[in-house]
Structure 1
């Protein structure tokens, strides 16, 4: 992508004002998006984004500059701009660059760039037909297709020189149902670190039907009661609550500055004994997986909480300096326009010993949240509220009527301590996560869990 000799000159220039570390991140990204509505392709956008980010450290100081000019002159100009943000006396010399070989678990069979748009549109139309014909109350179906190929090169003054190619594909399906009096929606958005083979292998009958089934089911649902109840949260995207309310609090971005309830808690009990919480970027072909992070460190499995005990954090290079701890392969960024910071990859609650049937049978009275929707969280305190896309009443250990309008309200660290049953049906759901270094593909996941008590927002007086 860029000659090694040029990068060495750029790193030397970036260190000229006394920095003690310099890094080059080069990116070349190709992306395609298609949208379909009323069985017609409404939009098709293809683009290429190329640029280089240059970062300099001195102690805990950091300066960052980026450019889309890949010439030696353009790169040196950006290096001088980054260097200008660092003032010091020492002039460190960059180590010779050594090419590192990447071993990736994420095999790609068919690169999206090799596939005609007609084949991509055919997948969308098939999903549309399945979703639209699910039930007569389905009034509208929207399908969105995404694929991207991202080539990155990362080099730094410590001698690192590594390249990687990342390929991701995703299909999003949204169905809207109406009975003339009201409207409800359902959504499913599977994604993977794979090429077009992911689309060809998708069980569209499941995903498209499920999006419509949710909408139709919620159309006939009763209003959810409000109060404090035991809440069963199903697997897969149910893990979004702990991603938002706890995962962000375990990132060094917050911990290093003391802006997390988990700061200085290593070795302390922070969750129920049945909770083990993991971030693993090495899971083969998962949506949030990586071979290397955006600082060139190998992705790895990080056990954050084990049987309720806090074991570690997600750490990037700069915040690792502040904490006196090594990187955990967690430095990520949306693109060259962002400096990296600590971020999640595939974060999940590990399997427990209970079966889903046992969890439901052992719940006398409560709420079952089958699919979660969007929400808000205060990452400093862990306070959250999340909408439930599909919910049911649970009474006498049996599933009851569907409920709409449910909202789960609580505090992430407190909720972790109230998890009293964990199922054995771990599954992951694809999503996008926004933070200081931009929007990134991540997986959230868990088996079915039960929280002994949660505040449920709904209609007062409903039983």
Structure 2
């Protein structure tokens, strides 16, 4: 990525402010809401595989999206051509949603001077050869760690998203969002058996810290540790068992099985398993879940959302009681509540919708070791891979990347092929212990919804749950 590009200021250049504002005002006359979302995005990604640089890509693009909202209907048009002529064509399309009008334009979001991250290009001053050499060093280091390592894949990514959001009242909000990540994967082989492990992370931080040897060496060591654990793993048992989920990244199960069900649009439409349950007990006593987009430098954090609303710390479940949903502006207005700063979009080519930021279950007061020791017959699940969720009932299936058999409080052999099967609402009610070790994930989450992907974060303490179904090999 270039670190010499001038700041993205489209309403001072390609879309002169006075002209753009007149077009937007015409498009939203009689509407409830609307905006122009202009974006410039640049990114670079490198992958070192099989002892050589395998891929290197650099991408840069810009465009705008114009939206007009009335009631439950939104008109949206976007273009890569940054010109007033293109803006007028987009306005004609968006205007169709307003019809005869009759709406009352919503007030602009409150302004904020808060900054949760640097707005600079995260790889500024780091030459391309240095990035390549770093990946080569990771490859060599991981291979030296253990003679059983037969394959190493190391990747590095850095990007900067700059947005400018113009509202019909003339309010202009800008945000510059860096993102970095380094990942290491290894494959080990012994006696004809191969297993893999991976580790990585990053956030809205500069790349220089992630290419320090101390940082990437720890990632390589963790990837190897997981691979070696799996090398000695036994087939997972099957049946209904007690489950202890580890801290940090296992919060991805919370994100999928519970988080999506607490997004405003699903609840307004009545399709969420939590619809109609506001103020009711939906989780065990002591369980508190928040969505917090205000944590500095985190992958899921945003100074403002993609409608210009400042990010927020929204309490979703407090002491087991459902207290809130994540809202964008449209759903908040239709539900008679305030926006929570969760209106997010993948890019200028996508309209915003309610999305998670950093979704976290707060910690309790139990010693994590005591929770695992309280398992009579079950699984201690430390790492997770992919999963699937049905949002209408919260039913999920998740695969474990690192898990251990536990009997009578004793941690036994690692198990391979374990899947956790259940549903979010029931699982929340079956929580019987929360550790004092709440942790955030290392910064590697992406969330998909209706074809749009955004970066997110998760977190939780060690959590003890009764009675989840474990899919594995029959005993």
Pair in the same fold by TM > 0.5: yes
Shift of 1:395: 2.2
Instruction: Identify the residue that residue 155 of structure 1 maps to in structure 2.
Output: 166
Q: Distance in 1 between matches of 2:356 and 2:34?
A: 24
Structure 2: stretches of 5+ with no match in the other structure = 1-8, 12-16
Question: Structure 1 residue 2 and structure 2 residue 4: aligned?
Answer: no
Q: Distance in 2 between matches of 1:386 and 1:300?
A: 29
Instruction: Identify the residue that residue 24 of structure 2 maps to in structure 1.
Output: 11
Instruction: Identify the residue that residue 331 of structure 1 maps to in structure 2.
Output: 343
Verify the 8 A CA contact 1:35 1:42 in the aligned structure 2.
Answer: yes
Question: Structure 1 residue 184 and structure 2 residue 195: aligned?
Answer: yes
Three-state SS of the structure 1 residue aligned to 2:47 is strand
Three-state SS of the structure 2 residue aligned to 1:102 is coil
Choose from 82, 94, 117 the match for 2:94: 82
Question: Structure 1 residue 408 and structure 2 residue 416: aligned?
Answer: no
Instruction: Identify the residue that residue 367 of structure 1 maps to in structure 2.
Output: 379
Question: Structure 1 residue 105 and structure 2 residue 123: aligned?
Answer: no
Shift of 1:253: 2.3
Q: Distance in 2 between matches of 1:257 and 1:98?
A: 24
Q: Distance in 2 between matches of 1:123 and 1:396?
A: 46
Q: Distance in 2 between matches of 1:160 and 1:372?
A: 43
Verify the 8 A CA contact 2:32 2:106 in the aligned structure 1.
Answer: no
Q: Distance in 2 between matches of 1:93 and 1:59?
A: 11
Three-state SS of the structure 1 residue aligned to 2:88 is helix
- Count of aligned residue pairs for this structure pair: 459
Structure 1: stretches of 5+ with no match in the other structure = none
Verify the 8 A CA contact 2:119 2:176 in the aligned structure 1.
Answer: no
Instruction: Identify the residue that residue 474 of structure 2 maps to in structure 1.
Output: 460
Q: Distance in 1 between matches of 2:226 and 2:67?
A: 46
User: What TM-score comes out, normalization by structure 2 length?
Assistant: 0.92
Q: Distance in 2 between matches of 1:109 and 1:50?
A: 17
Deviates more, 1:312-321 or 1:118-127: 118-127
Q: Distance in 2 between matches of 1:309 and 1:371?
A: 28
Shift of 1:306: 0.9
Shift of 1:136: 2.1
CA RMSD of aligned residues (A): 2.1
> Can you list the C-alpha shifts for 1:175-225, whole angstroms capped at 9, x where unaligned?
122225332221223121112234145622221111121112111211111
Instruction: Identify the residue that residue 172 of structure 1 maps to in structure 2.
Output: 183
Shift of 1:100: 4.8
User: What TM-score comes out, normalization by structure 1 length?
Assistant: 0.94
Q: Distance in 1 between matches of 2:121 and 2:97?
A: 43
Question: Structure 1 residue 64 and structure 2 residue 76: aligned?
Answer: yes
1:13-412, aligned counterparts within 5 Å? 13-16=26-29, 18-90=30-102, 100=111, 102-107=113-118, 111-200=122-211, 203-412=215-424
Q: Distance in 2 between matches of 1:333 and 1:459?
A: 41
Q: Distance in 2 between matches of 1:261 and 1:177?
A: 42
Instruction: Identify the residue that residue 443 of structure 1 maps to in structure 2.
Output: 457
Instruction: Identify the residue that residue 3 of structure 2 maps to in structure 1.
Output: none
